[in-house]
Amino acid sequence: MSRPEEIAPPEYFYNEEEANKYTTNSRIIEIQAKMSQRAIELLNLPEPGCLVLDLGCGSGLSGEELTECGHFWIGLDISKAMLDVASERGVEGDIILSDLGDGFTFLPGTFDGAISISALQWLCNAEKADHNPYKRLAKLFESLYSALGRGRRAVFQFYPAHPQQIEMITQAAVKCGFLADLIIDFPNSTKAKKYYLVLYSGAHQNYKQFQPLDGDDQVKFSKRDKTHKKSKKMHKHSREWILEKKAKQRKQGKEVRHDSKYTGRKRKDKF
């Protein structure tokens, strides 16, 4: 998997060329929209007409989903080129050029929620000599905690490079007073796997109410099955083999044709 955050700092990586991809590339747009919709679902806002903060709003793709749900959003991003694209597209939210790692200040307790799509991993790298990733994350969460109303949530979709990064991020968030919950969608797939960090400010209610898409996020323990070796190996391309393979791909969130009586059946010779 390519990791753009390891190539250059966000304000340089997202130049005009890169920013334009976010208006022309339909694949990027689709993925961003899907992740935003899931994040909004996890945000669980009570009714339309809420004020939402979008951290790392970029060209405003995630904001458009918020607008569609009837919310108003204020977006922060460090890339000028991406924000220019957003304002050219005429997004319905307000955008501000700002470095998340430096924190931000709003009137305390104003926001009804916050989302962030693929931004957090950018803060895990030290781009300058005086950058300390942990401190920058802490600053972000501190600012967020004061900007959010009590009992509100923030949902961060991000791509962690390694487990320690998840630990660092959650630690920084918990230290600022949040309750944190990590939801992993499609845990069995390398490609469709998505991490959502849900932060709760204040109230415990509804904590851990969401389940990851497609079940098993927990490792199942079982004693080693001694009879396992004896079990008959499936013939490749047999019906059972095909059914199992399809089930596996379904778990990974791929598009798979439904099973029918024709599944795995041979064609007639004359074909």
Tokens (6 digits) for 153: 């949530």
Closest separation between CB of residue 91 and another protein, Å? 11
Residues 6+ positions from 118 with CB-CB distance below 8 Å: 32, 35, 56, 157, 158, 159
By the rule CB under 8 A, 16 interacts with another protein: no
Q: How many residues of this chain bind another protein (CB under 8 A)?
A: 31
Q: Which is nearer to another protein, 107 or 219 (CB)?
A: 107
The residue range among 30-38, 82-90, 190-198, 206-214 that interacts with another protein, by the rule CB under 8 A, is: 82-90
Q: Footprint of another protein on residues 153-212 (CB under 8 A)?
A: none
Among 4, 28, 72, 160, binds another protein (CB under 8 A): 72
Distances (CA, A) of 182 to 81, 156, 173, 194, 198: 31, 9, 12, 10, 6
State the DSSP H helix or E strand holding residue 249, giving kind and residue range, or none if neither: helix 239-251
Among 18, 68, 99, 214, binds another protein (CB under 8 A): 99
Tokens (6 digits) for 39: 């994040």
By the rule CB under 8 A, 74 interacts with another protein: yes
By the rule CB under 8 A, 4 interacts with another protein: no
Output b/e per residue, 106-121; b: 16+ Cβ within 10 A.
Answer: eeeeebbbbbbbbbbb
Residues 6+ positions from 195 with CB-CB distance below 8 Å: 157, 158, 159, 160, 166, 182, 183, 184
By the rule CB under 8 A, 105 interacts with another protein: yes
By the rule CB under 8 A, 95 interacts with another protein: yes
Closest separation between CB of residue 198 and another protein, Å? 23
Distances (CA, A) of 69 to 41, 51, 73: 10, 11, 11
By the rule CB under 8 A, 137 interacts with another protein: no
By the rule CB under 8 A, 7 interacts with another protein: no
By the rule CB under 8 A, 241 interacts with another protein: no
By the rule CB under 8 A, 102 interacts with another protein: yes
Length of the chain: 271
Among 6, 41, 92, 240, binds another protein (CB under 8 A): 92
Of the candidates 168, 180, 118, the one whose C-alpha atom is nearest the C-alpha of residue 144 is 180
Closest separation between CB of residue 55 and another protein, Å? 13
Closest separation between CB of residue 26 and another protein, Å? 26
Can you tell me whether residue 185 is helix, strand or coil?
A: strand
The residue range among 18-26, 105-113, 203-211, 253-261 that interacts with another protein, by the rule CB under 8 A, is: 105-113
By the rule CB under 8 A, 97 interacts with another protein: yes
Tokens (6 digits) for 73: 């959003």
Residues that bind another protein (CB under 8 A): 11, 47-51, 70-72, 74, 78, 80, 83-84, 87, 92, 94-99, 102-107, 109-110, 112
